[in-house]
């Protein structure tokens, strides 16, 4: 990329990455939302995705830790509040554990990470390292998958409640509170990227960062699909569903 895009052109290119590479398009999500998963597959999804949820505040804190702009730090801090809450049992991670509880997974087993797919661990940690090591602009741009999450979440809640008798609105509480948070966060991040990607090189880095993040989410589902959708290839040591 050698020409400078206008902020709106940059936004259009960012949204186009989502339209082509966001994990809403992944075959595993079609199975999950379309009622085609077994309970064991839903368990495996929730168990693996738990690690992603658990590392989000670590990722966000590492972004705050390297940010010299108090306004950005203050704004970004709301993400810590959303995920960690103000007391034990509150916040997004606690709500995710209500989902794994509701699916019949032992909480100590989930939080021990003992059954995690290694590929999930590698993808999540790649994201954490990316945010800790790249420029602040790239770190913020990598969060922009949230631009696309409200649509997938409404699809997920609707599809999972309709198709699975082992899922309830209460166990899906994580998702019901997320869309307004995601909208607020992604609006801030998008405005930041549009304002601070001032050269063609910076714009290219911001676009690459969003592609990278789409790759992280996609790779997590690829690993899940490979391990748990027939023909199953569960790697040594990972969670083996009862059914």
Interface residues toward its own copies, by CB under 8 A: 20-21, 27, 117-119, 121-123, 125-126, 129, 211-212, 214-216, 218-219, 222-223, 225-227, 233, 235-237
Q: How far is CA 231 from the centre of its chain?
A: 26
Are 220 and 116 a contacting pair, CB within 8 Å? no
Nearer to its own copies, 101 or 222 (CB): 222
- CB of 219: closest distance to its own copies in angstroms? 4
Nearer to its own copies, 28 or 192 (CB): 28
- CB of 233: closest distance to its own copies in angstroms? 6
Nearer to its own copies, 119 or 182 (CB): 119
Q: How far is CA 83 from the centre of its chain?
A: 12
Nearer to its own copies, 63 or 97 (CB): 63
**Whole-angstrom Cα distance, residue 32 to residue 10?**
32
- CB of 226: closest distance to its own copies in angstroms? 4
- CB of 126: closest distance to its own copies in angstroms? 4
**Whole-angstrom Cα distance, residue 47 to residue 110?**
6
Are 54 and 84 a contacting pair, CB within 8 Å? no
Nearer to its own copies, 180 or 231 (CB): 231
User: Helices marked H in the chain — which ranges?
Assistant: 7-21, 27-33, 39-65, 70-84, 91-102, 107-112, 118-133, 136-141, 149-163, 173-196, 200-228
For helices 70-84 and 39-65, angle between their N-to-C axes, nearest 10 degrees = 150
- CB of 51: closest distance to its own copies in angstroms? 13
């Amino acid at each position: 990329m050698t020409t400078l895009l206008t902020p709106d052109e940059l936004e259009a290119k960012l949204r186009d990455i989502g339209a082509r590479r966001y994990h809403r398009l992944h075959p595993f999500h079609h199975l999950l939302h379309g009622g085609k998963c077994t309970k064991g597959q839903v368990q495996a999804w929730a168990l693996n995705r738990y690690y992603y949820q658990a590392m989000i505040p670590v990722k966000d804190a590492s972004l705050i830790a390297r940010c010299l702009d108090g306004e950005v730090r203050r704004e970004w801090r709301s993400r810590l509040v959303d995920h960690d809450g103000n007391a034990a049992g509150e916040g997004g991670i606690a709500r995710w554990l209500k989902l794994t509880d509701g699916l019949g997974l032992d909480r100590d087993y989930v939080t021990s990470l003992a059954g995690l797919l290694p590929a999930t661990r590698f993808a999540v940690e790649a994201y954490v390292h990316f945010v800790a090591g790249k420029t602040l602009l790239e770190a913020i741009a990598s969060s922009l998958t949230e631009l696309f999450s409200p649509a997938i979440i409404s699809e997920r809640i609707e599809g999972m409640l309709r198709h699975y008798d082992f899922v309830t609105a209460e166990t899906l509480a994580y998702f019901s509170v997320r869309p307004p948070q995601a909208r607020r966060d992604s609006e801030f991040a998008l405005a930041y990227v549009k304002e601070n990607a001032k050269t063609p090189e910076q714009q290219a880095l911001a676009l690459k960062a969003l592609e990278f993040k789409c790759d992280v989410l996609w790779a997590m589902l690829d690993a899940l699909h490979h391990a748990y959708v027939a023909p199953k290839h569960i790697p040594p040591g990972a969670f083996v569903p009862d059914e």
